[in-house]
């Protein structure tokens, strides 16, 4: 990866960002952008102002970095993500994680909207990630080894930290949300899957499917960060749903679930 992109973004951000490690970094996926409640905003930039990010190109991704305080915690929030399918390389995809790492942050919450594969899932359900399947076969750590990002061959047997999963469960249960733990299949996108692919991923053990999250999770875990992931089921996956899939359906489902997602994140911040 081209570290100059990371250096430029870090140089651009004010010293305040690096003066004290954030307690938690959050990357918000499709439709999750309005889920933050702040007591005090410390730093706020549009992605298009930060070198290396470029504007978020996907509808539903706010494209905003915010350092703020909530419940006595310091939070580095990346509202909107860049994806592998945007064709802009891994640097922009993992830039939020790298910035959080340089700020000294040790904990990362990843959120996304996903298609439900497990027949028990309905749109609006939450899935706490317990593991993932990378169907793309490539990841951001391919390339020359940089020891600041962990060992050459990072262990991936425990990407999603048990303690943070427990906190997510406790919060979701207390709020009466429909929630289960599951395995996330990462696909390259931007095409939705075929019904045959979804049947295959289901047999492989996947519960939900989406086009994000895994690159950031792999990178953060290799770097030694504690990672949590939560998916909002925005639609039933291809072949399970009786209608063709579209991004509007994803946005509609996340919009309906807006308050639920905001409450979950807020209480997670207080308890994690
Ligand atoms: N497939 C892939 N990505 C998605 C889906 C889906 O069904 N829903 C939301 N993101």
Q: pLDDT at position 55, please?
A: 66
Q: pLDDT at position 56, please?
A: 59
Distance 142 CA to ligand 1 centre (A): 25
Instruction: Go through the domains of the chain in sequence order and give each one's CATH number.
Output: 3-271 (3.40.50.1580)
User: Model-level pTM?
Assistant: 0.96
Residues labelled catalytic? 30, 61, 83, 85-86, 113, 211-212, 235, 247
Q: pLDDT at position 58, please?
A: 62
Distance 198 CA to ligand 1 centre (A): 11
Strand partners, 241: 238
Check pocket membership of 235 for ligand 1, CB cut-off 6 A: yes
Q: How many residues does the chain have?
A: 272
Does residue 259 register a pLDDT over 70? yes
Q: Give 175-193 pLDDT, tens digit per residue.
A: 999 999 999 999 999 999 9
Least confident segment among 63-72, 171-180, 225-234, 247-256: 247-256
Q: Classify the phi-psi angles of 241: left when phi > 0, otherwise alpha if psi is within -120 to 50, otherwise beta.
A: beta
First to last CA, the chain: 31
Nearest CA residue ID for atom 9, ligand 1? 114
Q: Name the token pair of 147.
A: 């020891």
Check pocket membership of 111 for ligand 1, CB cut-off 6 A: no
- Pick the atom of ligand 1 nearest to 245's CA: 7
Q: Give 134-175 pLDDT, tens digit per residue.
A: 999 999 999 999 999 999 999 999 999 999 999 999 999 999
Q: CB 192: neighbour CB atoms within 10 A?
A: 20
Distance CA(109)–CA(101), nearest Å, equals 13
- With bands split at pLDDT 50, 70 and 90, how would you rate the model's confidence at 258? confident
Distance 209 CA to ligand 1 centre (A): 6
Of all residues in the chain, the percent with pLDDT exceeding 90 is 81
Strand partners, 74: 69
Alpha-carbon Rg for the chain, nearest whole angstrom, is 17
- Pick the atom of ligand 1 nearest to 115's CA: 7
Strand partners, 228: 109
């Amino acid at each position: 990866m081209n570290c100059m992109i990371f250096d430029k973004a870090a140089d651009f951000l004010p010293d305040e960002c690096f003066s004290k490690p954030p307690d938690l970094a959050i990357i918000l996926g499709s439709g999750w952008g309005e889920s933050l409640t702040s007591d005090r905003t410390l730093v706020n930039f549009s992605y298009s102002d930060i070198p290396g990010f470029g504007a978020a190109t996907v509808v539903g991704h706010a494209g905003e970095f915010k350092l703020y305080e909530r419940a006595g915690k310091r939070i580095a929030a990346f509202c909107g993500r860049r994806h592998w399918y945007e064709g802009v390389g891994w640097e922009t995809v993992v830039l939020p994680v790298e910035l959080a790492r340089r700020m000294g942050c040790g904990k990362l919450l990843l959120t996304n909207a996903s298609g439900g594969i497990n027949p028990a899932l309905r749109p609006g359900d939450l899935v706490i990630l317990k593991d993932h399947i990378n169907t793309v076969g490539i990841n951001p750590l391919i390339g020359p080894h940089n020891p600041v990002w962990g060992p050459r061959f990072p262990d991936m047997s425990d990407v999603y930290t048990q303690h943070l999963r427990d906190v997510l469960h406790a919060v979701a249960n207390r709020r009466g949300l429909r929630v289960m733990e599951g395995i996330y299949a990462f696909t390259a996108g931007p095409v939705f899957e075929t019904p045959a692919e979804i049947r295959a991923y289901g047999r492989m053990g996947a519960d939900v499917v989406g086009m994000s999250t895994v690159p950031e999770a792999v990178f953060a875990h290799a770097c030694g960060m504690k990672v949590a992931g939560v998916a909002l089921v925005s639609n039933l996956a291809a072949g399970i749903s009786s209608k063709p899939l579209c991004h509007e359906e994803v946005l509609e489902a996340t919009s309906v679930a807006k308050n639920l997602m905001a409450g979950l994140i807020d209480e997670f911040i207080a308890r994690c």
